[in-house]
A and B are shown apart, each in its own frame.
Chain A
Amino acid sequence: MELKFYIESGIIESFVLGLASEAEVEELEHMRKLYPELNTEVEFVERRLERAAFDEPAMPPVEVRDRVLQKIRWEQGHAYSDPASNYTFINIQPKDGNHITVHRWWKIFFIIFFIMSKVFLFLAIFYYLKYRMSQDKQGYNLPRQVKQEQVQIAGV
């Protein structure tokens, strides 16, 4: 009967809401040791309050979740990483109009372009020299052919 009166006084609700004084909290702790069934009653009250809050939840903005989870990541020393993480990116590139930013693939493209230009230059020189050699050879053979023809004409 005393326990029922104690429960009906609203002391548990006062404790759960955080309104109980230190003396009341100590008394409740003492009573919980004496009457373990009080623990069940505390849980009932907490569950009722929880149901009440869950019946009308107001979801906080997504940014709040990001801020909370970002703190977890910092605490974990970046060991826990989410590929979809929302980091703040600070651009320290100069923005004076004289610089441009290009994709890294351009670097590979320019290396290939440079090598190919050297190859084509080498081939151009090579074939040019080959052409010159063939021209020189023709120039050397032509006077000999003319001389042979003159000898043949003289013989006739």
Chain B
Amino acid sequence: MLIEQLVMGKPAAKELLYDRYAGAIYTMVLQLVPIRERADDVMVRVFTWSFQHIGTFQTSGYKTLFAWLMRKARELAIKEALPETALTGSELMKQEEGMLQRFYLILPADQQQVFRLSYFKGLSITTIARLLALPEQQINNILGDSMKSFRQFLKDTWN
């Protein structure tokens, strides 16, 4: 229903989309971009993009608007994220409070490293393999193990 109205371009539907998902998406964005001004910019871009590309939702493979928005938010947030060395500490927000941060902290060291570089930094398997001087297959396996753990983490907490 909401999707149909969004496709029709109804302003009220756009407002509803923002009001319904802004809080949840902002939570995810802050875990990737801990600087408020930059996180705010990401939010504006995500929702502007969603209004323009709502027609692609049905063919995206996603079943919920939240997951579709979250995917785009991560993509844009990674572009906005600063290197960790550029953060002063006072700008950090929600770094260790978010659900993904908590999940990251319970992982074994090798999975932590690969998951951080993959999810939080947006690096490809090839780049991570080169960075860690490990075979791509090994990186794939480590990431696969972290995804199994993530599945269990989600099921245990929000089933």
* Residues of A that sit less than 8 Å from B by CB: 8-19, 21, 25, 28-29, 32, 39, 42-43, 45-61, 63-65, 67-69, 71-73, 75-76, 80
Contact A52 B158 (CB under 8 A): yes
Cβ–Cβ < 8 Å partners of A56 in chain B: 27, 97-99
Q: Which of A13, A19, A25, A63 contacts B40 (CB 8 A)?
A: A63
Interface presence of B134 (CB below 8 A): no
Interface presence of B75 (CB below 8 A): yes
Mark interface residues in B7-24 (1 if CB within 8 Å of A CB, else 0).
000010011001100111
Chain A's nearest CB lies how many Å from the CB of B60?
A: 11
Q: How many residues from B make CB contacts under 8 Å with A?
A: 52
Chain B's nearest CB lies how many Å from the CB of A34?
A: 15
The residue on A at minimum CB distance from B19 is A65
The residue on A at minimum CB distance from B159 is A48
A56-B97, A58-B23, A61-B40 given; A49·B70 CB < 8 A = yes
Contact B44 A49 (CB under 8 A): no
A18-B75, A64-B44, A72-B14 given; A10·B61 CB < 8 A = no
Q: How far is the CA of A29 from the CA of B22 in the complex (A)?
A: 29
Cβ–Cβ < 8 Å partners of B154 in chain A: 13, 45, 48-49, 52
Cβ–Cβ < 8 Å partners of A29 in chain B: 61
Cβ–Cβ < 8 Å partners of B36 in chain A: 61
Contact B40 A64 (CB under 8 A): yes
Interface presence of B127 (CB below 8 A): no
Contact A65 B22 (CB under 8 A): yes
A11-B147, A42-B63 given; A72·B27 CB < 8 A = no
